[in-house]
Amino acid sequence: MNPNRNLLVRKLDPPQLWNPMVENYLRATEFYHVSRIGVIREFHPMLAALRPETHSFVLPVGEVTVTLEDVAHIFGLPIDGEPVSGWTYSSGDFLQRSILFTDKSTAYAHAKYLPLLRDFEQIHTYSWGSACLAHLYRALCRASRYDTKEMDGPLNLLFVWTWERMSCLAPVPRQTLPPAEIPVARRWSHSERTTAWLSNTFEWRLYHGLIVPDELHPHLEVCDIVAPLLSFECVEWHPADRVMRQFGYAQPPSRAARDIPLD
């Protein structure tokens, strides 16, 4: 990939925070944490280091990527549950104001998700976090193409992962932000870029010591699995075996990339 190629990154500015009266309902669906994230701006692209066939970035320190562990901490979404899947139609119906599954308009998500929201008591049983990560992986694959001018997907996840892991790319020094808590993305809301500072490290064990809500503890037990991530027709591999240092393990030699379709 040409490192000097300009790519327009489209970002969704979420609507105003929900009415406090709906907090209990958001907690019941396990969308409470992600609903607390405000506007996140600015990004220094890493696409020049992207290896699209493995959804990873090849840096001087080694191979790294966004994982299910990052989704659980940054967005506070469940990652262990029923697949986000079902019947789809070719209609152009869309839902307005989505944060997790946006198209390039930055304001819409497909209406195919509506059937999964029909039974309120079952919403929390789906693996929304893995579906979100699948869409980010697919967006990265498409963004790596030479003729791509725009990028969609859950880009706030990519932004915050980059800033937390590599402070040299962050818009502000992390020590000037509120203490990290789940969702980690919340402390980057409305941050404005300041002057640069020196740092060239990668934070391998970023979430060590972070207080995890009780409802998320069971989900973290599967964050290092190597398995397909599913969101309807979007299926992408979770390459945890290529970034084992992010989970506190020694990194064995990486195997050949799995066959992952781009479409």
Question: pLDDT of 120-151, one tens digit each?
Answer: 899 999 999 999 999 999 988 888 877 777 77
Domain presence at residue 256: no
Whole-angstrom distance, CA of residue 170 vs CA of residue 177: 11
Which pLDDT score, from 0 to 100, does residue 129 have? 93
Q: Determine, yes or no, domain membership for 111.
A: yes
CB 225 within 8 A of CB 240: yes
Does a structural domain hold residue 257? no
Q: Tell me what pLDDT residue 165 has.
A: 92
- SS3 at position 229: strand
Q: What is the domain range of residue 180?
A: 8-247
Assigned domain for 240 exists: yes
Give a yes or no: residue 233 inside a domain. Answer: yes
The answer to whether residue 176 sits within a structural domain is: yes
- Tell whether 30 is covered by a domain: yes
Q: pLDDT confidence of 89, banded at 50, 70, 90?
A: low
Please state the pTM of the whole predicted model.
0.81
Rounded-to-integer distance, Cα 242 and Cα 204, Å? 13
pLDDT in tens, 12-21: 444 455 567 7
Establish if 3 belongs to a structural domain.
Answer: no
Instruction: Please name the helix (run of DSSP H) or strand (run of DSSP E) that holds residue 74, with its range, or none.
Output: helix 68-74
Domain tally, the chain: 1
- Beta-carbon contacts of 185 under 8 Å, excluding residues fewer than 6 positions away, are 34, 37, 40, 74, 75, 156, 157, 160
- Helix-helix angle 155-165:128-143, to 10 degrees: 90
